[in-house]
Amino acid sequence: MTPRGDDDPAAGHARDLLRAATRYSGARCLALCLVSIAATGAGLLLPAALGQALDLLLAHAPATRWVLCCAGLVLLLGLLDAVQTVLTGTVDARTTAWLRRRLTRHVLGVGPRAADRFGSGDLVARLVGNAAEAGTTPAARAALVAALAGPVGGVVALGLIDWWLAAVFLAGAPVLALLLRAVSRDTSESAARYQRAQGRIAAALAEAVEGVRTVRAAGTEGRETARVLRPLPDLSRAGHRMWRVQGRAAARAVAVAPLLQLAVVAVAGVLLTRDRLSVGEVLAASRYAMLATGVGVLVGRLAGLARARAAARRLGEVGTEPATVYGARGLPDGPGRLELRGVTARRGGRTVLDGVDLDVPGGTTLAVVGRSGAGKSLLAALAGRLADPDAGEVLLDGVPLRELPHEDLRGAVGYAFARPALLGGTVGQAIGLGLPSPSPGLVREAARTALADDFVRRLPDGYDTPVADAPRSGGESQRLGLARAFAHGGRLLILDDALSSLDTVTERRITDALFGDGPGATRLLVAHRGATAACADAVAWLDGGRVRAVGRHEELWRLAEYRAVFGDGGPDGTDTDAEAVFGNGGPDGTDADDGGSRPVPDTPDGTSGESDVTGTKGRSGADAGDGALT
């Protein structure tokens, strides 16, 4: 059962959205309404003019002026119809574009929560198909006024000819009113079902397209096609129901309307025999009876409005997801100290992070490790406010992220991801994304740091090569994403598994650049390789949604459960495959192939060995550098 509008937040958002969209095209909607009413008025004048001309012709009186009047009204109707068509198309296009801009901004403002709730495919279906249908609402409402004016004007004209004619018609009017009400109700319900089925197909198709290589490799094309098209029977049933609703309405209209018209004409004939009407008035009465029973036009208008209303409600559902609200507190100067205080985050009814406390001093590097599903990526998202915790708070240089303005927050925090989305027209623009005015020198320097400059220069137009025309591997895409993060700068750099597709040599060279001489930004690194964790000042080990321990990698490596995070270490705690975890290095980060040792980077204050990055017990006195469990 569909909730009442007063109890349905989505319906409320839909109404507000359509009101704003109507105001956006208000002048054109008013012009369309006036043109439609003018066309209806001309249509109402034409039967009277035809009747008058006929009476004059039958009386052998001069009728040239009335004949010309009829011709002029026909030409005016054609002109107004053309203007109405142009205005309707213009209003529909403007409103649809406005809705798509408004909803796109909202979805981007909501962030990942929107895709988590609706799915990317369903969101695309709403922003493309449903926005187009909802965009017809202002024009349809404006035209509906004229569509209602036709029957009302027809009844009034019948009353002016003779009140008996209006009375006969009004006797059957309640049947038409009930018919129109049923059409509107049934069409809304079936249209909503149809659009929901469309959204499910779009969501499944988006998933299949994204994983097309996996599908091909598994040889499950047929099974995947069946999965994508599984909602097709629901779509078919809803579509057939819509057509049945409109078909029944048309059939009833065909049954009711001619009876009313026949009744009006019959009474007009009786009045003609009694000399109360002329032949021309009988002709006019028959035409006005057709206008008064114009159910077909009203059925079409109401069905279109019902579909548009159902589509607008789906847009309203997106609007119920609140956009991220930013504060107005400025970010003070600082080294980029990151704090998580009692952070709890839930996803899908499951607590992924539970009371996490971390303190990352400015200029240091914290590697976050843990088994799959431990919450590493979620913690990385919370650290830069790509998501908000359900409890607790995240602070940057003492200021809660919720209180920072959008510009300050995004300017202070840079991100690199495992699968970066390379947005922008060219490769250079993709690297400089988000910067107010990225200079070519800054872009190239960032690319060199990410070891991307060589392969970018080999592209047909170098940094001016369109992204779509730049062939690249997964590792090269990651390097471009890293280059974008390096170009961004800021006081906090978050790498969410951003080195996973790199070969061992490239990863070592980038980590040397990342953790070596640099601007001293604080770095939070989601790591899956022991070699990467060994480069960090400290490691936060997530297990079961909590921080199991914080300490140096070589200290934590003594624990068999920690080694098992990297797929190493048997039940007895022995190191069975250190090279698989560290590349060619051991747990202390030394490289067995270069003939020398590669010490763990020093902390910013020049000391080596112990870390200033603390967990819950680190702040209460325990030294995280000693591998204290928290």
3-state secondary structure of 434: coil
Task: Tell me the one-letter amino acid at 23.
Answer: R
DSSP state of 603: P
3-state secondary structure of 61: coil
Distance CA 502, CA 241 (A): 54
Sign of the Cα pseudo-torsion (626, 627, 628, 630, in order)? positive
Question: Domains of the chain: which residue ranges?
Answer: 9-319, 340-397+491-620, 421-488
What is the rounded distance in angstroms from the CA atom of residue 360 to the CA atom of residue 396? 10
Nearest residue to 161 via CA among 290, 53, 288: 288
Torsion of CA 397, 517, 627, 533, to 10 degrees: 100
Per the CB < 8 A criterion, the answer to whether 362 and 336 are in contact is: yes
Radius of gyration of the chain (CA): 35
| Predicted structure pTM score | 0.69
Structural tokens at position 46? 């034409």
Encoded tokens for 260: 């009313």
Query: What residues contact residue 117 under an 8 Å CB cut-off, 6+ apart?
Result: 321
Select 340-397+491-620's CATH number: 3.30.1330.10, 3.30.360.10, 3.40.50.300, 3.40.50.2300.
3.40.50.300
**Helix, strand, coil tally for the chain in percent (to 5):** 60, 10, 25
Q: Angle between the 26-58 and 137-161 helix axes, to the nearest 10 degrees?
A: 30
Amino acid, res. 27: A
Q: Which two tokens stand for residue 627?
A: 């591998």
Residue type, 275: D
DSSP type of residue 2:
P
The predicted pLDDT at position 297 comes to 66
The burial class, CB within 10 Å (0-12 / 13-18 / 19+), for 53 is buried
Q: For position 613, what pLDDT does the model report? A: 42
Beta pairing partners, 356 = 343
Amino acid 143: pLDDT: 82
Q: 3-class secondary structure for 558-600?
A: CCHHHHHHCCCCCCCCCCCCHHHHHCCECCCCCECCCCECCCC
Q: Which of the 8 DSSP states describes residue 374?
A: S
* DSSP annotation string for 206-254: HHHHHTHHHHHHHT-HHHHHHHHTTTHHHHHHHHHHHHHHHHHHHHHHH
**Residue where the block lists tokens 């390097």:** 479
363, 335 Cβ separation under 8 angstroms: yes
Cα–Cα distance between 603 and 585 in angstroms, integer? 21
Burial of 403 (C-beta count, 10 Å sphere; 0-12/13-18/19+): middle
What is the signed CA dihedral for 597, 598, 604, 608, rounded to 10 degrees?
A: -40
Place of tokens 């997530």: 542
In this chain, the answer to whether the domains covering 9-319 and 340-397+491-620 adopt an identical fold is: no
Asked if 485 and 570 count as a contact pair (C-beta separation under 8 A), the reply is no
208: left (phi over 0), alpha (psi -120 to 50) or beta: alpha
Query: 318: part of which helix (H) or strand (E)?
Result: helix 295-319
CB under 8 Å to 123, separation ≥6 — which residues?
107, 114, 115, 318
| Residue range 9-319, CATH number | 1.20.1560.10
Sign of the dihedral through C-alpha 190, 196, 200, 203: positive
Write out the two tokens for 538.
């400290």
- Position of tokens 């059939």? 251
Which residue ranges of the chain lie beneath pLDDT 70? 1-7, 173, 176-188, 246, 248-256, 294-300, 516-520, 568-630
Classify residue 130 by its DSSP letter: I
Edge to edge, what strands does the sheet with 391-396 contain?
350-360, 338-347, 391-396, 399-400
- 629 DSSP assignment: B
Q: What is the pLDDT of residue 584?
A: 36
